[in-house]
Amino acid sequence: MQHENPIAFAFDKNYLKTGAVALYSLLHAHRAVEGVFFSIYVFYSGLNEDDLNRLQETIKPFKYFATLKCQDISATLDSLPTITDSAWVNRYSRMILVKYLLPSLFPQYSKMIWSDADVVFCRAFADDFIALDTSESFHLSGVISLVSQSVTEGFWFCNLDYMREHSFTQQVLEKFKIQVMRPYFKEPTLIHHLHAYIKELPLHYCVLPYYYQEELNDLRHKASLPIRFEIIHQDKPNEFIYRQQIPYEISQIQDILSNPIIMHYESDKDALGIYNGKPWEFPLGNQYHLWLEMLAHTPFWKDFTLEMQKKRVEYRDIAQKIHYFSQDKHLYEVSIRSIKVFASHYYNLVVKERWFKPIKTFFQKKFFQKKF
């Protein structure tokens, strides 16, 4: 018996390569799993026919257990001008709204998977989704962020039946209209009023590259902090509700890092102006090899390597910033050791090689008539 696993993604031209990596890694992780069939839906904006053909080519090795349907979502998003024209959405992408529309976009399904595009699927998870009981009272299952102690938006198991029955989309869009009028927009809070109907997925479902730079005890401490739900109100201050999250032992944290289900390359520019956590911006970071390995199997690899050639100087500048001023380094390393390392390199490569050596050679030729 084959179990259908519908899964939806949404991205535009900026995330085309990352979307291809997500598709390929999803199917690659499930290639040996029997009785599983993936119906993949990609909602896009701004992609051309060649882009869509290359996405189809990406999943071609797995056609025996997967289909890919691509749909332009622009018209649907255009029908929400109050929201899509907001400064916050324009700063990021209108595509982030698609996950909130899933209940109406897929009336034929009782449950569905949602995933961001900036991920690599490292292990199979279909059994967890198949076991999802839609008769239970919950909207979605998601991972709790170790950064914000709130539900992440990057990967959900969605109970579409319950979402439709309880007007999930309408509730979220109403919260959106309240939020866009405020100076600080926090997307996770759009669903916080539904906290009693949100289940928790294990941390394996959202591992970030920076976790590998943290001490295990620090990660365990963050995983033990209460989940923080900020309830949005229009006519009164927001309120906060806390809930204890799944406790983890050190051995479990080690297993999460050793056996992630999803590696999520989610981040933003740091103080140095570097996109931490995004291998398509700078391909030399922690755990970036997972993303590059999957990209190499897609039709977008050649494009990426050509871009790398053009970005040689940019990559060099980023590497220098990270080497000398990384936020992961202690103050001593940045303020003292980095200066010593720089001075040493400057002396050896500039003063010694470019100043002293030519002068020495000149005097040797002039006065000793001997070339050393």
Query: Which residues constitute the domain of residue 316?
Result: 210-321
The tokens of 261 are what? 């289900």
d(CA 325, CA 289): 23
Among 51-60, 335-344, 345-354, name the one with the lowest average pLDDT.
335-344
- Sign of the C-alpha dihedral, residues 336, 317, 292, 114? positive
Query: 241: closest CA among 251, 227, 260?
Result: 227
d(CA 239, CA 232): 7
Question: Which amino acid does the sequence have at 361?
Answer: T
Shared domain for 54 and 167, answered yes or no, is yes
d(CA 219, CA 239): 27
Q: How many residues does the chain have?
A: 372
Tens of pLDDT, residues 299-325: 999 999 999 888 888 888 877 777 676
Shared domain for 276 and 181, answered yes or no, is no
Shared domain for 305 and 168, answered yes or no, is no
Residue 196 CB coordination number (10 Å): 11
pLDDT of residue 271: 47
Supply the mean pLDDT for the chain. 87
The tokens of 98 are what? 């698609």
Residue 194 CB coordination number (10 Å): 20
Q: What is the DSSP string of 267-316?
A: --B-TTS-BTT-TTT-TTSTTHHHHHHHHTTSTTHHHHHHHHHHTHHHHH
In 3-state terms the chain splits into helix, strand, coil percentages (rounded to 5) of 50, 20, 30
Shared domain for 247 and 282, answered yes or no, is yes
Predicted confidence (pLDDT) at residue 169 exceeds the cutoff of 80 = yes
Shared domain for 97 and 218, answered yes or no, is no
**329 Ramachandran zone, left/alpha/beta (phi>0; psi -120 to 50):** beta
CA distance from start to end of the chain? 80
Contact 214, 231 (CB under 8 A): no
The tokens of 113 are what? 């998977």
- What torsion do the CA atoms of 164, 155, 192, 102 make, to the nearest 10 degrees? -20
Cite the beta strand spans of 150-309 per DSSP E. 151-158, 198-201, 227-231, 239-243, 262-264
Contact 121, 29 (CB under 8 A): yes
d(CA 68, CA 298): 15
d(CA 185, CA 192): 13
Cite the beta strand spans of the chain per DSSP E. 3-12, 36-45, 66-72, 112-115, 119-121, 140-144, 151-158, 198-201, 227-231, 239-243, 262-264
Our count of domains for the chain comes to 3
- HSE of 31 in the Cβ direction (CA atoms, 13 Å)? 13
d(CA 167, CA 165): 6
Shared domain for 78 and 162, answered yes or no, is yes
Could you say which of 321, 345, 362 is where a domain stops? 321
CATH of the domain at 76: 3.90.550.10
Higher pLDDT, 210 or 142: 142
Shared domain for 147 and 236, answered yes or no, is no
The tokens of 321 are what? 């910033």
Shared domain for 32 and 144, answered yes or no, is yes
Shared domain for 88 and 12, answered yes or no, is yes
DSSP 176: H
Q: How confident is the model at residue 372 (pLDDT cuts 50, 70, 90)?
A: very low
Shared domain for 101 and 22, answered yes or no, is yes
Grouping H, G, I as helix, E, B as strand and the rest as coil, residue 33 is coil
Higher pLDDT, 251 or 95: 251
- In percent, the amount of the chain with pLDDT more than 90 equals 56
Tell me which residue has tokens 């002293």: 356
Could you say which of 151, 176, 209 is where a domain stops? 209
Could you say which of 209, 241, 256 is where a domain stops? 209
Predicted confidence (pLDDT) at residue 164 exceeds the cutoff of 60 = yes
Shared domain for 280 and 253, answered yes or no, is yes
Tens of pLDDT, residues 269-305: 554 455 566 899 888 888 999 999 999 999 999 999 9
Shared domain for 295 and 217, answered yes or no, is yes
Tens of pLDDT, residues 31-47: 999 999 999 999 999 99
